């Protein structure tokens, strides 16, 4: 069945460092891919998405490219801020099911 | 409403009691999901409603869990004879799609359930 694997956390970075959070997936067909973010004390919200191969989703300086050849959707940001500290979830939807299937989440802590 | 609304936001219940959690999806959204978020467990799919189709109940962990959606809008998740391992945040989400996987799914703030 469909599944998502993302890198274990926590990830601790200094402000202005480069961020990569790896995400790979297994799915039948052509799923849509998502990154959701959960800031401390807040609900889950969509960060960015890509619905077909080679699409790049971007928002708030974050980017992720849908790579079908490597079944990946890695999240990147060139210069993180303290306010980016949150839990990031990679997710997919589609193929044989319309369920949104999440990875386990990666805690990012950015220090000043 | 403007977003997905869930109630109660916090619930403390005694082991063995039944609880009901309510979700008001975004107006007009045909798809509704329930997820559970436990400490260290990530986001666990529970159940999915899509329009008038039979719900996908494949994620419900036991027969103590059930959910219904009345009139294609409000949904109630019921947990019978609660156990301590049921303690978690229960998240509801909705989407406007009709089977379009790329449509955004919007989440509520969640209902924190603590079973003591």
For residues B12-35, give the mean pLDDT: 95
Whether A68 and chain B come into contact, CB under 8 Å, resolves to: no
pLDDT tens-place string over residues B46-105: 999 988 888 999 999 999 999 999 887 899 999 999 999 999 999 999 998 665 667 888
Are residues B43 and A105, on separate chains, in Cβ contact within 8 Å? yes
Decide if pLDDT at B109 tops 80. Answer: yes
Q: Which residues in chain A are contacts of B48 at CB distance < 8 A?
A: 98-99
For residue B23, give the H/E element and its range.
strand B19-24
Minimal Cα–Cα distance from A3 to chain B, Å? 12
Q: Which of A45, A95, A98 sits opposite B48 (nearest CB)?
A: A98
Q: What is the pLDDT of residue A17?
A: 97
For position A29, what pLDDT does the model report? Answer: 82
Cβ–Cβ below 8 Å for A51 and B101? yes
> Could you tell me which of B30, B24, B31 has the C-alpha nearest to residue B4?
B24
Calpha distance B37→A95 (Å, rounded): 24
Rounded to the nearest angstrom, the minimum Cα separation between A70 and chain B is 20
Asked if the Cβ–Cβ distance from B106 to A51 is below 8 Å, we say no
B43 interaction partners in chain A (CB closer than 8 Å): 44, 89, 102, 105
What's CA A109's distance to the chain center, in Å?
15
The alpha-carbon radius of gyration of chain B (Å, integer) is 14
Q: What is the mean pLDDT of chain A?
A: 93
Is A103 an 8 Å CB contact of chain B? yes
Cβ-defined contact of B107 to A105 (cutoff 8 Å): no
Phi, psi (5° rounding) for residue B70? Answer: -95, 130
Query: How many other β-carbons are positioned within 10 Å of the β-carbon of residue A72?
Result: 17
Structure confidence at residue B106 (pLDDT): 92
Residue B25 touches partner A, C-beta closer than 8 Å: no
Angstrom distance (rounded) from CA A107 to CA A41 = 14
What's the 3-state SS for chain A? Answer: CCEEEECCCCEEEECCCCEEECEEEECCCCCEEEEEEECCCCCEEEEEEECCCCCEEEECCEEEECECCCCECCEEECCCCHHHCEEEEEEEEECCEEEEEECCCEEEEEEC
Residues 6+ away with beta carbon under 8 Å from A19: A11, A13, A75, A76, A77, A80, A84, A108
Chain A 41-60, residues with CB within 8 Å of chain B CB atoms = 42-46, 49, 51
B67 vs A29, B46, B48, B78, B108, CA distance in Å? 29, 9, 9, 6, 17
Q: Please report the pLDDT score of residue A1 as a whole number.
A: 81
pLDDT digits (tens), chain A, 112 positions: 889 999 888 999 999 999 999 999 999 888 999 999 999 888 899 999 999 999 999 999 999 999 999 999 999 999 999 999 999 999 999 866 678 899 999 999 999 9
């Amino acid at each position: 069945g469909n599944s998502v694997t993302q890198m274990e956390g926590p990830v601790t970075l200094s402000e202005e460092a480069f961020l990569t959070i790896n995400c790979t997936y297994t799915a039948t067909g052509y799923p849509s891919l998502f990154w959701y973010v959960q800031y401390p004390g807040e609900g889950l919200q969509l960060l960015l998405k890509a619905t077909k191969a080679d699409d790049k989703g971007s928002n708030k300086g974050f980017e992720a490219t849908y790579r079908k050849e490597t079944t990946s959707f890695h999240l990147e940001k060139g210069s993180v801020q303290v306010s980016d500290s949150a839990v990031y979830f990679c997710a997919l939807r589609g193929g044989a099911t319309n369920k949104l299937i999440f990875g386990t989440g990666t805690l990012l802590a950015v220090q000043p | 409403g403007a977003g997905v609304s869930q109630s109660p936001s916090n619930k403390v219940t005694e082991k063995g009691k039944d609880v009901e959690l309510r979700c008001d999806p975004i107006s007009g959204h045909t798809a509704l999901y329930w997820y559970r978020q436990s400490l260290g467990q990530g986001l666990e799919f529970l159940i999915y409603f899509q329009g008038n189709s039979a719900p996908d109940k494949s994620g419900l962990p036991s027969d103590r869990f059930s959910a219904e959606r009345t009139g294609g809008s409000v949904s109630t998740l019921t947990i019978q004879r609660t156990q301590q391992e049921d303690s978690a945040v229960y998240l509801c989400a909705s989407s406007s799609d009709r089977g379009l996987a790329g449509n955004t799914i919007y989440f509520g703030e969640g209902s924190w359930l603590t079973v003591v």
